[in-house]
Structure 1
Amino acid sequence: MSERILVIKLGALGDFILALAPFQAIRRHHPGAAVTLLTTEPFAPLARASGWFDEVWIDSRPEFWQPRGWMALRRRLRAAGFARVYDLQTSDRSGWYFRLFGEDAPQWSGIARGCSHPHRNPARDRLHTAERQAEQLAVAGIAAVPPPDLGWLDADTRRFRLPERFVLIVPGGAAHRPAKRWPAARYGALAERLTLRGLPPVVIGGPSEKEAADAICAACPAAVSLIGATSLLEIAGLARRAAAAAGNDTGPMHIAAAVGCPSLVLYSAESDPALCGQRGPAVAYLRRPVLADLAVAEVEAALRLR
């Protein structure tokens, strides 16, 4: 019977993309094992497409006032017979998942109190996510976490009928952190400048970014809005074919950077690229304490095309 391994990564999108290298490293370290990922519904298609997991479990994330949900999760975890767990979420929630195992807890890589392979570095929260996870895996015996092979992170985008050259615009971000967003009017002005250079803008993001996309398209009628129309794999496919991508510190920019699209990410004081910045072969950052102070001309000048 194959050894069973559990990996926990619940989100968010940017964190999930930064965990792709650890996922691959875990799979390579346990070549004959049955590896299961515990994640949330939005990221299951990426996990399945990667080929690194034998099973993908969806976490219903029960609230503390939902004992039936917690008991069902406890039964499932304990019945699976996992030999080792890699907790890449390292949150209060995943720490409680460790406690669900009780005295029969498997080997556990993470920060849960009492786990077998704790990442004890007191400065762990001052490390970039990629370095922090690599250090955590080293404690568990995985010495190397090389860049992941992302040939699978792609999709056919012909249905969008886009021109041969275009630039992705990613104006969204967490709704509860508006200070992470460059003003939509500035993106509109950038879109118009790109259009004059023969580079039509394509705006991507989730349904909650529709207002920003509408403002951009109003300022630049040549812009194409694909807000709410793409899967995560299609965002990767678009990024592979785009001349460049410009956007806020948000999940789709992690995808664009990871697949090699020349990516310019705009940061405010609300987040720090030294801790959570997008990783890839052609990524750059512009940071201002207040993003409204960032001029359109500066963004245009910093945007590198291929």
Structure 2
Amino acid sequence: MIKKLLVIGPSWVGDGVMAQPLYRRLHERHPGLELHVFAPAWTLPLLARMPEVAKAHLNPFGHGQLQLRERWRTARALHRESFDQVVVLPNSLKAALIPFMAGIPLRTGFTGEMRYGLLNDTRELDEHELPTMVERFCILAEAPRTALHRPIPHPSLSSQPAAQLAVAQRLGLQPDTPIVAMCPGAEYGPAKRWPQRHFAALAKMLSARGYQVWLFGSAKDQQIGDAISQLADGCALNLCGKTGLDEAIDLMALASLAVCNDSGLMHVAAALHIPLVALYGSSSPDFTPPLSDQAEIVSLNLDCSPCFERNCPYQHLRCLEDMLPERVLQSCLTLLDTTPHETTAHK
């Protein structure tokens, strides 16, 4: 009999990308699996690029919202799907409520915050044995007390050349000159954002070498992008807020290189198999590294980092301020040919 399984997906774009190896492993363990994912709206374009996902269900609940009556209605709709099992990735109590209300027979997840009873297939997390987020996701595909299946494949997002060209034409872009994608935002907070003047200086250096620079991000990053474009004297084109995530994926797939803060778009770039320079300040590449064989990680490894704070607790942000553009350029050049070449689309 074909198994039907629901995953309660993560709330962040980067985590949504890192969940794909779990989906792949679930298919390996359960041939013919019908896999559904319950996820917030901003991550749904990712699921549309993942062939492992048969159907996505909208999670309409914002952070901190209990809304028991609405959760009950959502649970009743999921109950009609007759799932055999659910895997709950977020560790919150609220994330486990809907699967319990939906009456899904097998409910798998880490013990989390007081979730005994809501989950009936609970796992204890060994943070030393499973130091990265992708490992913690993937272990939930295995039977209890079973070792993690290795190696874990890297995430992979699909992008079709026709879609890439259509978005480029809509925005009046010319992808025939090699492109560097820069992602200067980070939803988590300023302590993850490389300074705007550093991005601008790097954009000038790359423009002088024959590359056009496109800035990617959400509408929240538009002011950051405007500032970088102005500081770069027009050497960086600000696309922040001009695309949805689906279009950003297609445009980023045209790039020869991506330079990203530790952000959701960094993980998108890695999953598109673009050569990637990943910049780490307050966060750690030990926990959420770019899952790519073509990545250069730049981190100063100061005594005060990683602090995992949204804002620098010492008010100096040296972990990013002292990460000079010349240092990042060297990482770019190890991944790029120094002679501009014709860009190729990534699938």
In the superposition, the TM-score normalised over structure 2's length comes to 0.78
Equivalent residue letter for 1:156: Q
Q: Deviations over 1:86-123 (max 9, x none)?
A: 1223333213334435xx55112211424343221332
Between structures 1 and 2, the one with greater helix share = 1
Equivalent position of 2:68 in the other structure: 67
Whether 2:229 is the aligned partner of 1:217: answer yes
Pairing 1:208–2:225 present: no
Which residue of 2 is the match for residue 170 of structure 1? 183
Counterpart Cα distance in 1 of 2:194 and 2:240: 17
Tell me how far apart the structure 1 counterparts of residues 135 and 79 of structure 2 sit (CA, whole Å).
Answer: 31
Give the Cα–Cα distance (whole angstroms) in 1 for the partners of residues 30 and 142 of structure 2: 14
Distance 1:246 1:216 in 2: 14
2:33 is the alignment partner of 1:37:
no
In the alignment, structure 1 residue 264 sits paired with structure 2 residue 277: yes
- 1:131 lines up with 2:130 in the alignment: no
1:94-243 to structure 2, matched below 5 A, reads 94-101=95-102, 104-111=103-110, 112-114=115-117, 115-123=119-127, 127-139=131-143, 143=149, 146-147=152-153, 150=156, 152-154=158-160, 155-157=163-165, 158-159=168-169, 160-174=173-187, 177-220=189-232, 221-243=234-256
CA distance in 2, matches of 1:248, 1:64: 29
More deviation, 121-130/184-193: 121-130
What is the alpha-carbon distance in structure 1 between the residues aligned to residue 79 and residue 133 of structure 2? 29
* TM superposition shift of 1:153: 4.0
1:294 aligns with 2:323: yes
Q: Which amino acid aligns with 2:197?
A: A
Secondary structure, in 3 states, of the residue corresponding to 1:275?
coil
Structure 1's 296 and 151: CA in aligned 2 closer, same or farther, altered over 3 A?
closer
The runs of 5 or more residues in structure 1 that have no matched partner are none
For structure 1, which segment, 254-263 or 124-133, has the greater mean C-alpha deviation from structure 2 after superposition? 124-133
Count of residue pairs brought into register by the alignment: 302
Q: Deviations over 1:220-257 (max 9, x none)?
A: 21321211223333333333331211121111111111
Q: CA shift at 1:300, angstroms?
A: 0.7
Equivalence for 1:277: 289
SS of the residue corresponding to residue 11 of structure 1 reads coil
Shift of 1:136: 2.5
> What RMSD over aligned residues (CA atoms) do the two structures have, in Å?
2.5
SS of equivalent to 2:164:
coil
**Percent pairwise identity:** 24
Which deviates the most, 27-36 or 283-292?
27-36
Question: 1:50 aligns to what?
Answer: 50
1:258 positional shift = 1.6
Post-superposition offset of 1:11: 2.1
CA contact (8 A) 2:177 2:212 kept: no
Which ranges in structure 2 are unaligned for 5 or more consecutive residues?
A: 306-318, 338-347
The amino acid of 1:305's aligned partner reads L
- For residues 72 and 151 of structure 1, do their structure 2 counterparts lie closer, same or farther at Cα, with a shift above 3 Å needed? closer
Segment drifting more, 48-57 vs 162-171:
48-57
